[in-house]
Amino acid sequence: MPARRGPPTRRPRRASTRGGRAEAAWREFAASFARAGMVPPAEAGLAAVEAAEGAAVLLLAPRQALTFTGKCRLRCLYGAVRLLGFAVASHQPGLPVFSPATHCALTLEALPADRPPAADLRQLRAAARAAMRAHSVRRQARVKVMARFSPECAVVLLEHLDTPVTRFLLSHPPLSQLFEPQKKEESSFTPEDAVLASVGIVKCSPDHGLLVSESMLLALEELIQACCAEDEGVPVVLVCGPKNTGKSTFNRYLINLLLNRLPSVEYMECDIGQTEFTPPGCVSLSNVTEPILGPPFTHQQTPRKMVYYGQTSCEQDTERYLDVVKYVFSSYKKEVPLVINTMGWVKGEGLLLLIDIVRLLTPSHIVQMDVYDWKAMAPLTPEYVHLTPGLYTKGKQQAKCKQMGMSGVGSWKSSEGEGDASAPEYKLLYVHPEFPRAGVAGEARVHSGILRDMSILGYLGQLQSPDIGAVLPLHSLVPYQVPFNAVALRVIHTDVAPTNIMYAVNASWVGLCRIPDEIRCQTDGPVLLTQTPVCDCLGFGIVRGVEMEKKLYHVLTPVPPENLRLVNCLLLGNIAVPNCILVGQQGVEGEIPYVTSDYNYSILGSGKLKKKKHFKRREYAFECDYT
């Protein structure tokens, strides 16, 4: 994709950071309680003292836990702690931790320490004191911590965290309170609360944290044992179940537990509506080497293999979806354990499609998540999958299988002589979530559309400067200029007349892809594909302008130039640029580009920006209005 930067534009003057102002406000808020005499005696066993400006030292007794919302950088100075299954020891670097109001709160728990036989109390105290001194903890704070120190405790350093991604998200008014608690708890304000607030986190009730059911614990233990032993090959774990049953949280917890013992884990995303490491609408395969300590918008990354499907549901084209799944799965080398996430569409054709996916991916373990009544889907036992026909494959007693028009999926569907093949061999593990509203459609904490927009915003946050400074509006950034004849163009989800194709592309979210065929065009006009290819996607961008006179696309993307040179295809799907980006363009005088109130809504394809205020049960809702 031959691309060159356009003419430079003036950047806005640097201003004081939102993070710095917020940090100062937290400190002033915390100090006001102390001045007013509203600070009761400290809770036994919990100590949090200010270590430096924007930093705090936390001392936890064995098995003591802290459930919180907010964001910070966590570093264990002495002992060990556990966070969402991942064990953090004193030899590890600091980890960014994100616990927003849109997800269940994270819980930090002190792990029991194995006291060295030859070490005495004086040596252990000296080690803890030296670790705090090495990280510039103030002497007064060291004295307070050591006064309550015990050899079995854990000492943790919490630091204020400000990243380009979070700055970009918080700059949009609908998400400005993303890391603040949505429901005020009636409880006394302790000195520890003041110190934690100065860092950027707020203690909350343990009920707001992850509830690990007994069935979930048993399933995790068996999977960890299988992945570490590898007695029967490298495990492939497929996680399935209806919507709002905790599949994504289970996957994060499992991956973190595996990373305690293994250097890396492979993760395959088959849920195109709620993706973990990419913007929505993708099937991808990622190699995970770092713990997952936040929701998807905090860890957007480039997968090893990714295909842009272009929609958040595959109901309109299940054949192409299976082709994409097969193409991505072919890159798995079976060297490390693989965790596969699936869609929450498990009724009707969705269940039949899931059976096809099980036959295609041949997992060694299936984790089925559902509430106890099993009304959403039948237990996926090996016998059930063996006998039940899928959407494109047949069961044992089926004489014919549904024919398909695409050769990719047809290459793996059962042939006439394979109907009596042996039942698939995998271990089925049941997990019954016990958190409130589990499995109830429409009762999620945050609407799925808002979570998808947050993932896109997290991806676009990579365009921000890594330096701590003012947030740069997207319209102030310099886009790449791409000639029409350098890339092919395809609209995935609908038919668009060639004369209207540029109207559809302008101000749209596009996948930057690589097709094996060479782009050949006799003219300098746009190159249009007649079919949607199954090809590698290298990233995403916004077509922020189309210059018809010079035959150029203006594309804004965080994809590095060395990867952009490989791009020769732009795929436009049914994933839109979030409304808050279009409506909240800062520094624009007059009419906002791409947004108008004077419009004829009778025109086919036109429509108003929709509000995204959701939820019947307001005590759990995260208020977010993009308009």
Q: How many Cβ atoms are within 10 Å of 270's Cβ, its own excluded?
A: 24
DSSP-derived secondary structure for 328-381: HHTT--SSS-EEEE--S--STHHHHHHHHHHHHH--SEEEEE--TT--SS----
Strand partners, 267: 286, 339
CA 162 vs CA 40, 67, 298, 439, 555: distances in Å: 31, 20, 12, 35, 27
With bands split at pLDDT 50, 70 and 90, how would you rate the model's confidence at 403? very low
| pTM to 2 decimal places | 0.86
- Average pLDDT (541-547) is 95
pLDDT at 249: 94
Question: pLDDT tier at 624 (50, 70, 90 boundaries)?
Answer: low
Is residue 28 scored above 80 in pLDDT? no
Residue 230 has a pLDDT of 75
Predicted local confidence at residue 120, as pLDDT: 80
Q: Which of 48-57, 411-420, 599-608 has the lowest mean pLDDT?
A: 411-420
599 Cβ contact list (under 8 Å, min separation 6): 606
Domain with CATH 2.40.30.330 in the chain: 473-583
pLDDT on residue 163: 93
**How confident is the model at residue 225, as a pLDDT?**
94
Quote the CA–CA distance of 303 and 511 in Å, as a whole number.
14
Q: Residue 540: pLDDT above 90?
A: yes
- Quote the pLDDT of residue 352: 95
Amino acid 617: pLDDT: 36
Fold classification of 214-431 is Rossmann fold (3.40.50)
Would you call 250 helix, strand, or coil by DSSP? helix
For residues 239-256, average pLDDT: 94
pLDDT at 396: 76
pLDDT of residue 277: 98
pLDDT at 462: 95
Of the candidate ranges 221-235, 520-534, 568-582, the one whose mean pLDDT is the lowest: 520-534
- The DSSP bridge partners found for residue 479 are none
Strongest mean pLDDT among 144-158, 198-212, 274-288: 274-288
Tens-digit pLDDT profile for residues 89-146? 999 999 999 999 999 999 999 998 766 666 688 889 999 999 999 999 999 999 999 9
Q: Using the predicted structure, report yes or no on whether residue 404 has a pLDDT greater than 50.
A: no
Note the pLDDT of residue 605: 54
Superfamily of domain 18-208, CATH level 4: Jelly Rolls (2.60.120.10)
> How many CB atoms lie under 10 A from the CB of residue 328?
23
CB atoms < 10 A from the CB of 389, how many? 18
The predicted pLDDT at position 548 comes to: 93
The architecture in CATH of the region 473-583 reads Beta Barrel (2.40)
Provide mean pLDDT across the span 345-372.
Answer: 93
Question: How confident is the prediction for the chain on average, in pLDDT?
Answer: 84
Considering just the CA atoms, what is the radius of gyration of the chain in Å? 26
